[in-house]
Amino acid sequence: MKSILVVLLILLAGIAFPSSRLYAQEAKPPDSTQSKPPDQAASSEKDKAGDAYSGMYTFLKEGEFVQLTVEDGGRVTGFISRYGDGESDKGAFLDQFFKTGKLDGNKLSFTTDIVHGVAFDFHGTVERGEGKTPGDDAYFVLKGTLTENVTDINKKVTAHSRDVALKMFPQEAGPVPGVRK
């Protein structure tokens, strides 16, 4: 009777805890010595640069800003937070989300949704600014042409373009390590 009980326990243990060898084979990471195909290596370098470009940048007036997030494949999302200029929204804070956005290398373009009859288009580049380290003010600058498209009551669109240099806000420092005892 004892031998049957021992066999049953061994079988149950085998079912409940499959061999660690099987798990080790499944969990084995890919061989890091294999090189990535050139297109994947270039893509990952672009993604790293894009990650660095993500952040908050100045906009046209004090207190206004552009929030930019670079995602995989050069897709750009974000929004402009600005003060309204119209009669109905004068001084109100408005958020205009990107309808489209793309980063190709350092070439950046985005178009916002229309909010209160106004939309923005940006075409330019992301360049290194005056900041010395990534945490400094103006480490990156968005340089290019910003076009403000204003639609009136009669659906007539008036476009006003200007050259801009939108500076990145300083990045917050990470948490200060605690004192160890």
Mean pLDDT, residues 77-105 taken together: 92
Q: With respect to residue 18, please indicate whether it lies within any of the assigned structural domains.
A: no
Full-model pTM: 0.69
Whether 32 is covered by a domain: the verdict is: no
In a domain, 69, yes or no: yes
Q: Is residue 160, in this structure, part of any structural domain at all?
A: yes
Per-residue pLDDT at 32 exceeds 60: no
Mean pLDDT of 144-162: 95
Question: What is the count of structural domains for the chain?
Answer: 1
The per-residue DSSP string of 67-87 comes to EEEE-GGGBEEEEEEEEB-ST
Name the percent of the chain in helix, strand, coil, to the closest 5: 25, 40, 35
The answer to whether position 156 is within a domain reads yes
Token couple for 13: 């243990």
Answer yes or no: is 64 within a domain: yes
Is residue 13 one of the residues assigned to a domain? Answer: no
CATH number at residue 119: 2.40.128.30
Give residue 88's pLDDT band: very low, low, confident or very high (50, 70, 90): confident
Q: For residue 39, what is the enclosing H or E element?
A: helix 38-53
Among 5-19, 72-86, 160-174, the least confident range: 5-19
Kindly state whether residue 114 falls inside one of the protein's structural domains.
yes
